[in-house]
């Protein structure tokens, strides 16, 4: 999109310092941006880059205005203002509704007229897709699925029977919505007997699900992802998990069955939560933390050990195995010393 | 399926207390079930839910019979009995064998008449699929693959040349069977030279493989998954791994090359095993444990540190880096004290 | 391929001890190989297997020559020589260029004549694919993608708009190249506002990407994978990460945004790196290590605790939570003892 600074300022609520008729057509970094590009600064460590920038306009807070060699759009929250500006500058022209001839469509489906169904999509029976939907190539949707408006399913996604998606949901390539939960009863001869997984996945509005992430359907009740939740790549969400609104979950995290995460939580990468826990609102868990019981208080939580050179680590790691014995030795020593002090 | 309590009792070997002609058509939780639904209880924490349940029938052990307001099916193992009942109550009518016109079929393949090959499936040459097979949409099967009876491949699965699946195998969406193992020889100029991965994956009977899980083919010998093994989502199984019968592996676990897991083992979520290990039968590994050497004894094993508030953790974590030095300090102190005691 | 020992010796630069006209047609292990198969030994632990081997020829170093009952190919580096020999012995006849009728091809694409485009592939507009390319079944390529020569995309792979691949790249099933980075600005009402991800993924020559691995596109600049990099299955590489040449990354590892990995590094399985770090060349990180700050020195690094029986671990793990307090107690004790010694 080719757009004037005046219009950008109006749309993001910025104070423009510079030429209102100057036009930009895309975004770039402070270092790479040309005169027809917009950039932004939100941290003073980028000040040298700002001072040398050849960008057409920079979104910034008032404190950086004096250092800006380009036109400036002054806002309170430059990062958010940039996110909004970049969204409309790089928005694509709305595609005309179409169903590719190679797509295989089931019966009794209700697909809004302006949806784009790409090549090699397979859609089952009784599927409803709201206005503005895009179903990308190679995606497979089962039966009885209900999808809200403006949903964007990128490519090679699988959604199983009965799952429901709210408005504005984005599903990234390869993710799986509604795989069977991992539920088995111990059976005769020490084999496992599968528990049929009869629930579905219910995803709220404005949820993003990352590439190759898997969300299992519920065993009887549903797996529920709240409005505004953002999920990164390669995340595992097991059956009957519930994620509260606006929580964000980074890559490689796994959440075991029936665990409930509160609202506005953040789980960093590689976190693991065991099943049947409850995590309060506003809890932040740092990377690779192992969460083994419920968290009732908002706050930041961590586990793990810091990395070191392998040779130093080997020495410390072996001591960890003696930590209980060591602690007891010390407690005994302290006790003996006190007695000796008393006796002296 | 609409089925009488009398028939359910007969099929799961239960003692029916109630109306043998009452009929149910689906399963639900104690809280949600209606008069035409079956529920179950296996733990006394659900006793209040049982007492208020409006379910048509509840599967339970004798100890809960007096508290059941509904018809009751009394069994010794309610969880297993529920698993079996739910399986036939929610079983789907057998589909008539069919190959969707969009499926691309190779040459010399032998597909049993009652198989269902879905839309946009691609099957290579010399593939055999036994009776009752379902190959779901978007799945890709290479050449020379042998698949047993009643195998269910859900959607968007990839199986590479030469892999073999037993009877009753389920492959969940997006899983990959027979990806190349990660094998390279150090080569000239510090580059890596790929070792061709010439083995295949051999999967036994009644194995489940979770969504987006990857199982690599062997380098020369095969990767072997034993009968009855259950594998969750996003698990990595490297080349030449062997998994013993009826072991279960939870999500996000990774098993490095040539490691052999025994029978009846359980690996919880996020576990990592280094390569070339041997793990005995009946070993249970708790979540996120790092297994760095072979396990010769049955039992439960763990590693990691418990999570804490981030501020407390930071203090303890830094001390871990001094743990060897601390231990030495203590040992010296104890020695000094003993000498002093001796000298006094 | 059916090939004489004379020709193999010439192609891998080996000294042949045995019949130059003996022919072999495939590779196998020392134990399994027949007279028409090649095997190899690189470690003395396989000496008993060598002594009993029925292989037609064995690649080995001079030290094992006397123990070889078969024809022998003597080289300095048997593992590398085997990798090379196995590659040409098991090479497949070059397919004739073809585009399967079910493939959906965009406009203005330039596909070299000898490329093989498989069934149900979807390729967007303005895509260039160099000589020798194979695009496997079910793969989805967006618009404006540039692919070098001899690239092998196995099956069900997704590549998004604008990504670029060098020569000799292999993409294994289910991997995703160019998924959106996980970038959000905190917005009004504690919701998240998506930062458009405008960069692409740029992959160098001879890079392998494992099954179901995900590589995100850059936010503004690109995500860059250097020449010769090897990436295993289920690895997450976030936006703006850069991986130096010939580094190797094992399965289940996650690298957070903007982190730069040097050349010739190895990351073992399940490693996690937080964002915005710099890792020097020749760094080796052991499995499941949590890397929380930059690494400036070449060397080996580790974190985590060793596994134990669950009962021993429980005792030690709880002591970890008291480690700072314990350390302080000891330091106080040492101080007191010194004062006492002084006073005595």
CA-nearest of B300, B305, B306, B307 to B286 is: B300
In total, the C-beta contacts within 8 angstroms joining chain B to chain C are 228
* Proportion of chain C in helix, strand, coil states, percent, rounded to 5: 20, 30, 50
Of C214, C292, C305, Cβ closest to residue A317: C305
Q: Which chain A residue shows the shortest CA-CA distance from C194? A: A83
- The DSSP 8-state label assigned to residue A93 in this structure reads P
**pLDDT, tens digit (0-9, with 9 covering 90-100), for A180-191:** 999 999 998 999
Q: Could you tell me if C306 and B272 are in contact, meaning their C-beta atoms sit under 8 angstroms apart?
A: no
Of C195, C292, C308, Cβ closest to residue A83: C195
CA-nearest of C318, C323, B320, B308 to A301 is: B308
Residues 6+ apart with CB under 8 A from B208: A180, A194, B169, B170, B172, B229, B230, B231
Domain topology for B3-89 = 3.40.1390
Place of tokens 């690109």: C222
Q: Where is A117: in which H helix or E strand?
A: strand A116-117
Of A120, A287, A307, Cβ closest to residue C302: A307
Q: Could you tell me if C91 and C1 are in contact, meaning their C-beta atoms sit under 8 angstroms apart?
A: yes
Taking the CA of residue C63 and the nearest CA in chain B, the distance in Å comes to: 20
Q: How crowded is residue C103: how many other Cβ atoms within 10 Å of its Cβ? A: 20
Place of tokens 């996604």: A157
The residues spanned by each domain of chain C are: 3-89, 157-301, 310-343
Taking the CA of residue A14 and the nearest CA in chain B, the distance in Å comes to: 38
Q: Which of B273, B303, B326 has the most C C-beta neighbours within 10 Å, making it the best mutation to test the interface with C? A: B303
**A254-255 and A236-237 strand pairing:** parallel
Provide the ipTM: 0.96
Q: Which chain B residue shows the shortest CA-CA distance from C304? A: B304
Inter-chain CB proximity A302 and B306 less than 8 Å: no
Q: Which of A292, A320, A325, A342 has the most C C-beta neighbours within 10 Å, making it the best mutation to test the interface with C? A: A320
CA-nearest of A149, A189, A148, A185 to A165 is: A148
Q: Which residues of B touch A196 (CB under 8 A)?
A: 27, 83, 86-87, 90
C 301-320 near A (Cβ less than 8 A) = 301-306, 308, 312, 315-316, 318-320
Inter-chain CB proximity C233 and B214 less than 8 Å: yes
Inter-chain CB proximity B210 and A122 less than 8 Å: no
DSSP A261-320: E-TT-EE-TT-EE-TT-EE-TTEEE-TT-EE-S-B-S-EEEE-S---EEHHHHHHHHHHH
Q: By the CB < 8 Å criterion, does C84 face chain B? A: yes
Of A27, A137, A320, Cβ closest to residue C140: A137
Angle of CA points B108, C137, C197, to nearest 5°: 170
- The DSSP 8-state label assigned to residue C91 in this structure reads P
**pLDDT, tens digit (0-9, with 9 covering 90-100), for A63-121:** 999 999 999 999 999 999 999 999 999 988 777 899 999 999 999 999 999 999 999 99
Inter-chain CB proximity A290 and B305 less than 8 Å: yes
d(CA C269, CA A58): 42
Instruction: Please report the beta strands in C157-247, taking only residues with DSSP state E, as ranges in sequence order.
Output: 158-159, 164-165, 170-171, 176-179, 184-186, 192-194, 201-203, 208-209, 214-216, 223-225, 230-231, 236-237, 242-243
Q: By the CB < 8 Å criterion, does C336 face chain B? A: no
Place of tokens 């993924």: C201
Q: Could you tell me if A51 and A39 are in contact, meaning their C-beta atoms sit under 8 angstroms apart?
A: no
Inter-chain CB proximity A304 and C299 less than 8 Å: no
Inter-chain CB proximity B198 and C333 less than 8 Å: no
Give the mean model confidence (pLDDT) for residues B289-304: 98
**pLDDT, tens digit (0-9, with 9 covering 90-100), for B198-250:** 999 999 999 999 999 999 999 999 999 999 999 999 999 999 999 999 999 99
Q: Which residues of B touch A104 (CB under 8 A)?
A: 100, 102, 119-120, 137
pLDDT of residue B344: 59
**pLDDT, tens digit (0-9, with 9 covering 90-100), for B122-132:** 999 999 999 99
**pLDDT, tens digit (0-9, with 9 covering 90-100), for A45-63:** 999 999 999 999 999 999 9
Place of tokens 């009792």: B9
**pLDDT, tens digit (0-9, with 9 covering 90-100), for B24-38:** 999 999 999 999 999
pLDDT of residue C268: 98
A 131-160 near B (Cβ less than 8 A) = 138, 140, 142, 156, 158, 160
Taking the CA of residue A144 and the nearest CA in chain B, the distance in Å comes to: 15
d(CA C302, CA C292): 11
3-state secondary structure of C4: strand
User: What are the tokens at C180?
Assistant: 């959106």
Taking the CA of residue A104 and the nearest CA in chain C, the distance in Å comes to: 12
Taking the CA of residue A31 and the nearest CA in chain C, the distance in Å comes to: 10
d(CA A169, CA B27): 30
Q: Which of A217, A253, A288, A319 has the most B C-beta neighbours within 10 Å, making it the best mutation to test the interface with B? A: A319
User: What are the tokens at A336?
Assistant: 């003996």
Q: Could you say which of B71, B90, B239, B276 is catalytic? A: B239
Q: By the CB < 8 Å criterion, does B238 face chain C? A: yes
So what CATH class is C157-301?
mainly beta
Is position B239 annotated as part of the catalytic site? yes
Angle of CA points A269, A272, A275, to nearest 5°: 145
pLDDT tops 80 at residue B340? no
Q: By the CB < 8 Å criterion, does B244 face chain A? A: no
Q: By the CB < 8 Å criterion, does C206 face chain B? A: yes
pLDDT tops 80 at residue B95? no
Buried b (16+ CB within 10 A) or exposed e, B207-216: bbbbbbbbbb
pLDDT tops 70 at residue B96? yes
Q: Please, where are the H alpha helices in chain A?
A: 5-12, 47-52, 78-89, 310-320, 323-343
Of B84, B268, B309, Cβ closest to residue A300: B309
Residue A110 burial class via C-beta count within 10 angstroms: exposed 0-12, middle 13-18, buried 19 and up: exposed
Q: Where is B57: in which H helix or E strand?
A: strand B57-60
Q: What pTM value is reported for the model?
A: 0.96
d(CA A107, CA A72): 54
**pLDDT, tens digit (0-9, with 9 covering 90-100), for A200-211:** 999 999 999 999
Q: By the CB < 8 Å criterion, does C298 face chain B? A: no
Q: Which of B12, B91, B212 has the most A C-beta neighbours within 10 Å, making it the best mutation to test the interface with A? A: B212
Of B27, B208, B269, Cβ closest to residue A256: B269
pLDDT tops 80 at residue A32? yes
Place of tokens 């069934």: C119
Inter-chain CB proximity C160 and A138 less than 8 Å: no
Inter-chain CB proximity A251 and C182 less than 8 Å: yes
Beta bridge partners of B290: B272
Q: Which residues of A touch B102 (CB under 8 A)?
A: 102, 104
Q: By the CB < 8 Å criterion, does A323 face chain B? A: yes
pLDDT of residue B1: 81
Q: How far apart are the first and last CA of chain C?
A: 87
C 278-297 near B (Cβ less than 8 A) = 287-288
Q: Which chain A residue shows the shortest CA-CA distance from B83? A: A195
Inter-chain CB proximity C32 and B220 less than 8 Å: yes
Q: By the CB < 8 Å criterion, does C77 face chain A? A: no
Q: By the CB < 8 Å criterion, does C194 face chain A? A: yes
The series of mean pLDDT values per 10 residues for chain C, 344 residues long, is 95 96 96 96 95 97 95 97 95 86 96 97 98 98 98 98 98 98 95 96 98 97 98 98 98 98 98 98 98 98 96 95 92 82 67
Inter-chain CB proximity A172 and C184 less than 8 Å: no
Of A80, A232, A306, Cβ closest to residue C182: A232
Angle between helices C323-343 and B310-320 (to 10 degrees): 60
CA-nearest of C26, C24, C79, C86 to C56 is: C24
Q: Which chain A residue shows the shortest CA-CA distance from C319? A: A324
Angstrom CA distances, B254 to A267, B149, B236, B240, stand at 21, 29, 5, 13
DSSP C247-309: -EE-TT-EE-TT-EE-TT-EE-TT-EE-TT-EE-TTEEE-TT-EE-S-B-S-EEEE-S---EE
Taking the CA of residue C309 and the nearest CA in chain B, the distance in Å comes to: 4
Q: By the CB < 8 Å criterion, does B127 face chain C? A: no
**pLDDT, tens digit (0-9, with 9 covering 90-100), for A304-343:** 999 999 999 999 999 999 999 999 988 888 888 777 777 6
User: CA-based Rg of chain B, rounded to a whole angstrom?
Assistant: 27
Q: Could you say which of A71, A172, A239, A246 is catalytic? A: A239
d(CA C321, CA B219): 44
DSSP B238-254: -TT-EE-TT-EE-TT-E
A 34-73 near C (Cβ less than 8 A) = none
């Amino acid at each position: 999109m080719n757009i004037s600074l005046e219009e950008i300022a109006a749309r993001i609520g910025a104070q423009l310092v510079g030429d209102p008729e100057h036009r930009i057509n895309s975004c770039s970094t402070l270092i790479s941006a040309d005169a027809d590009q917009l950039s932004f600064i939100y941290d003073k460590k980028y000040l040298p880059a700002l001072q040398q920038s050849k960008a057409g306009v920079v979104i910034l807070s008032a404190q950086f205005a004096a250092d800006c060699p380009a036109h400036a759009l002054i806002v309170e929250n430059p990062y958010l203002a940039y996110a909004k500006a970049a969204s409309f500058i790089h928005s694509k022209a709305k595609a005309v509704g179409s169903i590719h001839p190679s797509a295989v469509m089931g019966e009794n489906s209700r697909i809004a007229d302006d949806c784009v169904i790409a090549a090699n999509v397979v859609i089952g029976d009784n599927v409803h897709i709201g206005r503005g939907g895009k179903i990308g190539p190679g995606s497979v949707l089962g039966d009885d699925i209900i999808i809200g408006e403006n949903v964007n399913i990128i490519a090679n996604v699988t959604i199983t029977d009965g799952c429901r998606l709210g408005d504005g949901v984005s599903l990234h390539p390869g993710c799986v919505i509604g795989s069977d939960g991992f539920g088995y009863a111990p059976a005769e001869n020490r084999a496992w007997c599968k528990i049929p997984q009869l629930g579905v996945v219910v995803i709220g509005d404005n949820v993003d699900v990352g590439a190759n992430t898997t969300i299992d359907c519920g065993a009887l009740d549903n797996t529920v992802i709240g409005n505004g939740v953002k999920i990164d790549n390669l995340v595992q969400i097991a059956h009957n998990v519930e994620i509260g609104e606006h929580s964000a979950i980074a890559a490689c995290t796994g959440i075991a069955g029936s665990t409930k995460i509160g609202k506005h939580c953040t789980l960093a990468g590689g976190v693991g939560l065991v099943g049947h826990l409850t995590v309060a609102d506003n809890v932040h868990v740092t990377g690779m933390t192992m969460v083994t019981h419920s968290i009732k208080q908002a706050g930041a939580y961590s586990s793990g050990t810091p990395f070191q050179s392998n040779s130093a680590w080997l020495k410390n790691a072996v001591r960890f195995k003696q930590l209980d014995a060591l602690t007891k030795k010390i407690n005994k020593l302290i006790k003996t010393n006190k007695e000796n002090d008393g006796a002296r």
